[in-house]
């Protein structure tokens, strides 16, 4: 009798525990947002979300309005679509809404890096020191040198036109921008190691190209790796690629490099001095490679493609770049050295700035996530207050709620190169319901996790596009080419990628 009583009690407790984990008892409390658990226990809407996050969230917004809680893979996410309360979320104290808890789990899974909260504020200080201000001028110059090395070494003497070369525009842009950024941040081959300067340069070209090839393999697996949804064979490949990058960027190879950026070297030195073992420092460097190179090349691709599809925009941006070059006494002409674009020059291109921002509006789509550590009250612009429940996650998807919102950006699907600039060169303001908005474009995230590389990324994209427009004749192989659709499996991870590449031709202008 006693045995059966114990058995039945254990069974009942396990059953109730199981149902609890599956979310069966979760009910919407007063003042909480609408709750939608879907029909599959525990998984909830994981599959719909994974397949096309933007399509799914758009459907939920139509069903529930500007705030709703959905079950996704065992977690309750409250999505807030009202841009007037973004400030309250991204500025809330870390003791209530925390970025690090979620990020730490993700970086352990995707890069093998175990973060330590104690190191965070020191590491952030290196971002401010080296990715902004004076540090940014040094990095911009070094990136410019590497672009010249990668793009302009085969320029003709101007005697005769060189033949057209054909390539995939996405591959070309991603490849060149990745390699220039990588060499600027992680350093170049040491002359001493190779014997002479020419050999060291050749080595840089070969090595950076190999690294890009492997990076793209990892890049393709990345979304499914982040969602822990890789099939076994791809899992093995992802592990191989991680080991490849840990080794390629290993601190044991530091002596073979020179011109390593201070952003990388000082962060690494700090970790070493604070007892982080070598193997974990290698993983940190891999994480920084992903953060710094995964979005910039794809953004450069979209910008160049939008310009090539829009003659008026192309004329305005190209004219602006050529004007700045002339003002600094430079011109692309036969026999002259490649142009050298400095940070000062990049500060004088309002149309190009607006075109970069417009490109990011269309294709940058991060999902910003915070863990709710205590119950938090949130007031919507309608005046209604909601409670975010402790233990849940709160998320923003500005691409849908702001960047593609026709109330804020009329004709949101159209590339308008001058959308962000007034005719006098000043920046435009944006409004919703007649009220001025602070958050009208959020490609870089916001608050504690705002991208620290945003100024450097913008400089890289502007350098690359300026060099392409001034040094090369460019044309699409098919002049009727449509802009390819966005690959909807990548929502949430930064700049989106196209479902297919676009063929183009290029040749040096002189």
Please tell me whether residue 453 binds ligand HEM under the rule CB under 6 A: yes
Indicate the residue among 23 and 298 with the shorter CB distance to ligand HEM. 298
- Measured in degrees and rounded to the nearest 5, phi and psi for residue 375 equal -55, 135
Residue in 186, 495, 498, 509 binding ligand HEM, rule: CB under 6 A? 495
- Measured in degrees and rounded to the nearest 5, phi and psi for residue 421 equal -130, 140
Residue in 136, 378, 451, 486 binding ligand HEM, rule: CB under 6 A? 451
Indicate the residue among 295 and 330 with the shorter CB distance to ligand HEM. 295
Indicate the residue among 188 and 330 with the shorter CB distance to ligand HEM. 188
Report d(CA 246, CA 264) in Å as an integer. 15
Please tell me whether residue 364 binds ligand HEM under the rule CB under 6 A: yes
List of long-range contacts for 220-225, beta carbons under 8 Å, 24+ apart? 222/110, 222/290, 222/294, 222/493, 223/489, 223/490, 223/492, 223/493, 224/489, 225/109, 225/110
Determine the interface stretch with ligand HEM among 218-226, 232-240, 242-250, 451-459 (rule: CB under 6 A). 451-459
Q: Is residue 433 marked as binding? A: no
Report helix angle 169-186 to 454-471, nearest 10: 130
Please tell me whether residue 366 binds ligand HEM under the rule CB under 6 A: yes
Report d(CA 83, CA 75) in Å as an integer. 23
Here the tokens at position 82 are: 């009202």
Here the tokens at position 205 are: 């070209």
Does residue 364 sit in helix, strand or coil? Answer: strand
Q: Which residue, 355, 356, 381, is CA-closest to 460?
A: 356
- Measured in degrees and rounded to the nearest 5, phi and psi for residue 93 equal -65, 155
Residue in 151, 264, 304, 368 binding ligand HEM, rule: CB under 6 A? 368
Here the tokens at position 8 are: 């039945």
Please tell me whether residue 135 binds ligand HEM under the rule CB under 6 A: no
Here the tokens at position 316 are: 């305005």
Indicate the residue among 43 and 442 with the shorter CB distance to ligand HEM. 442
Shortest distance in whole angstroms from residue 395 CB to ligand HEM? 10
- Chain centre distance of CA 380: 28
Report d(CA 487, CA 389) in Å as an integer. 33
Residue in 35, 57, 131, 150 binding ligand HEM, rule: CB under 6 A? 131
Question: Which residues does residue 387 pair with via DSSP β-bridges, in sequence order?
Answer: 377
Shortest distance in whole angstroms from residue 380 CB to ligand HEM? 22
Indicate the residue among 83 and 445 with the shorter CB distance to ligand HEM. 445
Residue in 88, 291, 373, 510 binding ligand HEM, rule: CB under 6 A? 291
Size of the site for ligand HEM (CB under 6 A): 21
The answer to whether 63 touches 36, Cβ cutoff 8 Å, is yes
Indicate the residue among 292 and 405 with the shorter CB distance to ligand HEM. 292
Q: Is residue 85 marked as binding? A: no
**Position of minimal CB gap to ligand HEM:** 453
Shortest distance in whole angstroms from residue 139 CB to ligand HEM? 8
Indicate the residue among 457 and 465 with the shorter CB distance to ligand HEM. 457
Report d(CA 319, CA 300) in Å as an integer. 19
Report d(CA 238, CA 217) in Å as an integer. 9
Please tell me whether residue 296 binds ligand HEM under the rule CB under 6 A: yes
Indicate the residue among 140 and 330 with the shorter CB distance to ligand HEM. 140
Q: Is residue 326 marked as binding? A: no
Give the strand pairing for 97-98 and 75-80.
Answer: unpaired
Determine the interface stretch with ligand HEM among 7-15, 35-43, 430-438, 453-461 (rule: CB under 6 A). 453-461
Rounded-to-10 torsion of CA 248, 250, 252, 253: 40
Indicate the residue among 43 and 465 with the shorter CB distance to ligand HEM. 465
Q: Which helix (H) or strand (E) holds 341?
A: none
Q: Is residue 233 marked as binding? A: no
Please tell me whether residue 457 binds ligand HEM under the rule CB under 6 A: yes
Query: Which positions make up the binding site for heme?
Result: 451
Query: Which positions make up the binding site?
Result: 109, 295, 393, 451
Instruction: Give me the residues that bind ligand HEM (CB under 6 A), please.
Output: 103, 131, 291-292, 295-296, 299, 364, 366, 368, 443-445, 449, 451-453, 456-457, 494-495
Query: Which positions make up the binding site for substrate?
Result: 109, 295, 393
């Amino acid at each position: 009798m006693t045995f059966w009583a114990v058995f039945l009690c254990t069974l009942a407790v396990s059953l109730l525990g199981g149902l609890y984990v599956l979310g069966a008892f979760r009910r919407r409390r007063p003042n909480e947002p609408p709750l939608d658990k879907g029909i599959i226990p525990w998984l909830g809407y994981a599959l719909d979300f994974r397949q096309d996050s933007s399509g799914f969230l758009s459907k939920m917004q139509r069903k529930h309005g500007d705030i709703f809680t959905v079950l996704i893979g065992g977690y309750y996410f409250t999505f807030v679509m009202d841009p007037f309360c973004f400030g309250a979320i991204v500025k809330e104290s870390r003791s209530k809404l925390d970025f690090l808890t979620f990020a730490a789990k993700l970086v352990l899974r995707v890069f093998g890096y175990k973060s330590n909260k104690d190191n965070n504020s020191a590491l952030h200080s290196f971002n401010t020191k080296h990715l902004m201000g004076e540090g940014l001028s040094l990095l911009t110059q070094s990136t410019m040198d590497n672009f010249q090395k990668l793009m302009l070494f085969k320029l003709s003497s101007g005697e005769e036109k060189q033949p057209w070369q054909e390539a995939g525009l996405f591959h070309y842009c991603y490849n060149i921008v990745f390699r220039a950024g990588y060499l600027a941040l992680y350093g170049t081959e040491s002359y001493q190691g190779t014997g002479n300067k020419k050999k060291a340069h050749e080595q840089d070209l070969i090595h950076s190209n190999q690294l890009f090839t492997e990076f793209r393999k990892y890049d393709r697996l990345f979304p499914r790796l982040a969602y822990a949804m890789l099939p076994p064979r791809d899992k093995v490949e992802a592990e191989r690629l991680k080991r490849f990058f840990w080794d390629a960027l290993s601190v044991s190879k530091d002596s073979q490099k020179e011109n390593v950026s201070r952003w990388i070297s000082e962060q690494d030195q700090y970790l070493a001095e604070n007892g982080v073992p070598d193997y974990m420092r290698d993983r940190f460097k891999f994480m920084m490679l992903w953060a710094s190179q995964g979005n910039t090349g794809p953004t450069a691709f979209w910008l160049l493609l939008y310009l090539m599809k829009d003659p008026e925009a192309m004329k305005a941006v190209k004219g602006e770049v050529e004007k700045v070059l002339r003002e600094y006494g430079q011109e692309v002409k036969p026999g002259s050295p490649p142009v050298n674009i400095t940070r000062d020059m990049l500060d004088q291109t309002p149309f190009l700035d607006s075109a970069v921002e417009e490109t990011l509006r269309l294709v940058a789509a991060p999902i910003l996530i915070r863990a709710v550590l205590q119950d938090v009250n949130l007031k919507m612009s309608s005046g209604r207050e909601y409670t975010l429940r402790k233990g849940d996650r709160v998320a923003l998807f500005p691409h849908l709620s702001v960047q593609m919102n026709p109330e804020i950006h009329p004709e949101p699907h159209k590339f308008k190169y001058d959308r962000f600039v007034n005719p006098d060169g000043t920046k435009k303001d944006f409004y919703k319901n007649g009220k001025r908005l602070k958050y009208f474009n959020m490609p870089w995230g916001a608050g504690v996790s705002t991208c620290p590389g945003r100024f450097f990324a913008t400089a890289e994209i502007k350098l690359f596009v300026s060099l392409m427009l001034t040094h090369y004749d460019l044309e699409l192989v098919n002049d009727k080419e449509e802009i390819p659709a966005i690959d909807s499996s990548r929502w949430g991870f930064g700049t989106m990628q196209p479902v297919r590449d676009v063929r183009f031709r290029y040749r040096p202008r002189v």
